[in-house]
Amino acid sequence: MNGEIKPTSDATQALLGARDKGVQTKSEGPAATREPTGAGADSVMLTDKAQQLLQLEEQLAQFPAVDSKRVESIRQAIADGSYQVDAERIADRMLQLEAEQKKSEL
């Protein structure tokens, strides 16, 4: 794992490609719209929301996907037998996640 975050959807990849080509922006309508601009040429218009999403994605790309120092410290604690599992904390968090999931399904 190299820690690089890559766009996962075709739409995100299209938006990133459009950004790299200096695409015009549009403040209303769908996040990205294609409008023909001549003989087979495409143009992409980005909304303010789409631009914000691109900026957030760029900011997230600056952070490593894995905290290597934390992983190594946990690995070392497991190896030397000092790693402690807080079963009560894990159970509480599982219950909290389940409650949040039920709430979001409503």
Tally Cβ neighbours within 10 Å of residue 9. 8
Interatomic CA distance for residues 74 and 13, integer angstroms: 35
Quote the DSSP letter at residue 87. H
- Amino acid (one-letter) located at 60: L
Task: Yes or no: say if 45 and 35 are a contact pair by the CB < 8 Å rule.
Answer: yes
On the 0-12 / 13-18 / 19+ scale of CB atoms within 10 A, 50 is buried
Mind listing the pLDDT tens digit of every residue in the chain (106 residues)?
A: 444 455 555 556 665 665 555 555 444 444 445 454 555 678 877 788 988 999 999 999 998 889 999 999 999 999 999 999 999 999 999 999 999 999 988 7
> How many alpha carbons lie under 13 Å from residue 19 in its C-beta half-sphere?
17
Interatomic CA distance for residues 94 and 26, integer angstroms: 43
Where in 28-80 does DSSP place strands (E)? 32-36, 42-46
